[in-house]
Amino acid sequence: MTKRTWSNAELAKTLARMGVLLELDGGNVFRVRAYKEGARVIENHAESLAGLVDQPGALEALPGIGKGIAQHIRDLVGTGHTETLDELRKKYPEELVELTELHGLGPKRVRTLFDELKIHSRVQLEEAAKAGKLRGLAGFGEKVEQNVLKSLATASQWAGRMLLAEAWPHAQALAERMRQLPGVKQVELAGSFRRRRETVGDLDVLVCGGDAEQVMKAFTKHGSVADVLGQGETKSSVRLEVGLQADLRLVPEESFGAALMYFTGSKEHNIELRRIAIDKGLSLNEYGLTQSEKSEKVVAGRTEEDVYRALGMAWVPPELRENRGEIDLAREGRLPKLIELSDLRADLHMHTTRSDGRDSIDAMVKAAIERGHEYIALTEHSKALPMANGFDAARVRKSVTEIEAARARHPGIPILHGLEVDILADGELDLDDETLALLDWVVVSIHSHFSQAPAVATERALRAVRHPLVHAFGHPSGRLIGSRDPVAFDVEKVAVAASEHGVAMEINASPDRLDLSDVNARLALEKGCRFVIDTDAHATGQLDNLRFGVFQARRAGLTKDDVWNTRTFEAFDRWRREKRSRKPQAGGNGAPVVATKRESPAPRAARSKPAKPAAAVGSAKPKRASSGAASGKSAKPASRTRRKG
């Protein structure tokens, strides 16, 4: 079997899990904290730690990595196991540990459930909560009991699925191994992974060329495989260590395109394509487009483009294949030219150690420059989040000097002085207008009161986006995929207001947010909104998550012209200043503003391409890597940190 290759993300996740298990076990608080800190360091370390295990003292030299954790890393990379983890897993079943991932529960409460009610699964937890058995436990109460039921309901919607960002490195590793085999001509990852859905249930790998026996052996013996579910001459199925099922199919070259279409989906998209084929007297399946079901004469099948062309339409990007009107656009030649990762010039939402970030201003700026950004915004939290060291008015005034100093240290990149300002329960912003006026860039976000009634939540959001000093609405719905439902405001009404007041809607690229969702971003686009795509990074490694925001934007049908941080700094800054120059009709926080409603976007075919603006001051745009949107080519895996706020 091929030796498993451990990514930093996998090592970090394993150490974090060890920290949770130790906390369940009543371990020393400082030891638990050491594992969590070690996981944080590993997750955000640029160099592969697996490559350092044979270098004496190299791991221990990293901040936050002591001798014990360094040995765990060496054990994991060398054998796939570590004694401490194995012993803890024997004591606490995985189902119990998974309960700590539910919103509102943590290791201490889960240990109480285990000790007092012998609960170790979601089924048992749901039964106990419905029976009212949780409210009498220490540290619970009726409200916690109800929140547990809500969390279970949310989690059940995502059962058996994994975040796209979590599946990303495992899928790429499998595909890359197949590409290395002699004679293999083409390897593609299909399914919901290729359509860039926010979660995936399994992986589909298509291979063309190579020796069949060698291909199947390399797949089933891969180091990430836990169980072989089936193995044949043209198809094998495995279950990976992380729980995902992966299926590999060996496909002949002449039908590779048809197979790729079929296994990419979606089911609804494929059904419509087959209907069109039938109307043309043709038959479409994974083997090709033929003259009829009984005929063996193939009309097209070698490439996806050939098949779409034979059906009378343009090739459809995988992200759009959900049968939401993309087929009509393809037949009419009106498909949008979707945004690419290389189109983005900036990241306008990130945190440093001044609030709840993990890296300094200088570290974040340098990391942004390394990734080719032409300008950035530093956006700490506001005071409503005291646990995140949120800024009050005095701290904002001090920050003015800090940002000026950072600009002096980094003259090659414009740095916007921003803030992520909380939208309070009534729609009031967390800071006064005089303080907000000191900022270059104001992102407003919801971090509390997630369960408001729809009418109340809608008025709250409307008041915020109508504020004349606001530039962008950050992670608008406040959802956390798999653990927290979105705030129930009227997205259409809020999008209309944002469009009228020139407020950009954010597509937050944090893998467990991806907020706005693709559906809501599409609705906002229809209402005339413009967007920003940001990482909300709390550490340098998380700046790489930008690709996942681009994937979400592509699924919504966005082009580069729909996204403000594709502009040069001059063009962006001009818009920012014009937005800020708008005057309210009356004073006060959230007062209505005088604004001319922008026209809704013209049909894609009618949009004119703007002249290319001047280059950003002090920064030439470096060449970027492609987002790998269609084919899922290898790219650096993303880090992920789940937040409560």
Q: Which amino acid is at 317?
A: P
Q: In 340-361, which positions are buried (b, 16+ CB within 10 angstroms) versus exposed (e)?
A: bbbbbbbbbbbbbbbbbbbbeb
pLDDT band per the 50, 70, 90 thresholds, residue 189: very high
| More confident position, 472 or 3 | 472
Distances (CA, A) of 605 to 209, 391, 522, 608, 609: 39, 46, 17, 8, 11
Q: Assess whether pLDDT exceeds 60 at residue 570.
A: yes
The structure tokens listed for 251 are 């496909």
The lowest-confidence range among 88-92, 365-369, 439-443, 519-523 is: 88-92
Cα 48 vs. chain centroid, distance in angstroms? 22
User: Which pTM value belongs to this model?
Assistant: 0.80
Closest CA to 566 of 612, 511, 513: 612
Per-residue CA distances from 387 to 352, 390, 442, 478 (Å)? 14, 7, 20, 18
**Segment among 114-123, 433-442, 476-485, 630-639 with least mean pLDDT:** 630-639
The helix or strand, by DSSP H or E, that contains position 117, with its residue range, turns out to be: helix 107-117
Kindly tell me if the per-residue pLDDT of 171 is higher than 50: yes
- 502 pLDDT above the threshold of 90: yes
pLDDT for the residue 483: 82
Burial class, 402, CB count within 10 angstroms (exposed 0-12 / middle 13-18 / buried 19+): middle
The H-assigned helical ranges of 221-357 are: 256-264, 267-279, 304-310, 326-332
Amino acid at 404: E
Burial of 470 (0-12, 13-18, 19+ CB in 10 A): buried
Report the pLDDT value the prediction gives residue 105, as an integer from 0 to 100.
Answer: 86
Task: Output 318 or 151, whichever has higher pLDDT.
Answer: 318
Matching residue, tokens 């509102």 = 104
Residue 624 has pLDDT above 80, yes or no: no
Confidence of residue 384 (pLDDT cuts 50, 70, 90): very high
> Residue 223, SS3?
coil
What does each C-alpha distance from 138 to 17, 91, 131, 142, 292 come to in angstroms? 25, 23, 17, 11, 69
DSSP 8-state symbol, 417: E
pLDDT at 633: 37
Provide the token pair at 454. Answer: 């729809």
Greater pLDDT, 315 or 483: 315
Report whether the peptide linkage leading into residue 266 is cis, meaning its omega lies within 30 degrees of zero: yes
State the average pLDDT for the chain.
87
Q: Alpha carbon of 220 to those of 10, 111, 174, 226, 227: distances in Å? A: 20, 38, 10, 9, 8
Tokens of 431: 């800071």
Whether the pLDDT of residue 137 is over 70: the answer is yes
How would residue 616 be classed by pLDDT, with cut points 50, 70 and 90? very low
Report the pLDDT value the prediction gives residue 586, as an integer from 0 to 100.
35
What was the pLDDT predicted at 151?
A: 84
List, for residues 31-67, the tens digit of each pLDDT value.
998 998 888 888 777 778 888 888 899 899 888 899 9
Q: Is the pLDDT of residue 513 over 60?
A: yes
For residue 194, which amino acid is it? R
Which of 244, 249, 279 minimizes the C-alpha distance to 263?
Answer: 249
DSSP 356-371: T-SS-HHHHHHHHHHT
- The helix/strand/coil state of 583 is coil
The backbone region for 547, taken as left when phi is positive above 0, alpha when psi lies in -120 to 50, beta otherwise, is alpha
> Lowest mean pLDDT: which of 1-10, 242-251, 444-453?
1-10
Length of the chain counted residue by residue: 645
What percentage of residues in the chain have a pLDDT greater than 70? 89
What is the DSSP track for 44-108?
Answer: T-SS-GGGGTTSTTTTTTSTT--HHHHHHHHHHHHHS--HHHHHHHHHS-HHHHHHTTSTT--HH
pLDDT at site 599 = 34
Cα separation of 392 and 578, whole Å? 26
**Confidence (pLDDT) at 582:** 62
Look at residue 103 and tell me whether its pLDDT is greater than 70: yes
pLDDT for 139 equals 87
**pLDDT band at residue 106 using 50, 70 and 90 as cut-offs:** confident
Q: Which amino acid is at 1?
A: M
For helices 164-179 and 8-24, the axis angle rounded to 10 degrees is: 140
User: Is the predicted pLDDT of residue 623 greater than 70, yes or no?
Assistant: no
d(CA 499, CA 512): 26
- Name which residue leads in pLDDT, 616 or 412: 412
* Helix pair 212-220, 164-179: axis angle to 10 deg: 140
- Of 278, 324, 238, give the one whose Cα is nearest residue 526: 324
Residue % of the chain over a pLDDT of 90: 67
pLDDT at 639: 38
CATH numbers and ranges of domains, the chain: 8-157 (1.10.150.110), 163-332 (3.30.460.10), 341-606 (3.20.20.140)
pLDDT band at 595; cut points 50, 70, 90: very low
CA distances to 24, 46, 94, 150 from 86, rounded to whole Å, are 15, 28, 12, 32
Mean pLDDT value of segment 125-138: 91
Tokens read off for 573 = 């800054």
- The neighbouring-strand residues paired with 203 are 246
Query: What pLDDT score does 294 carry?
Result: 67
Least confident of 380-394, 429-443, 459-473: 380-394
Q: DSSP 3-state assignment of 197?
A: coil
Above 90 in pLDDT, residue 514? yes
Tell me the pLDDT band of 588, cut-offs 50, 70 and 90: very low
Please give the pLDDT value at position 579: 86
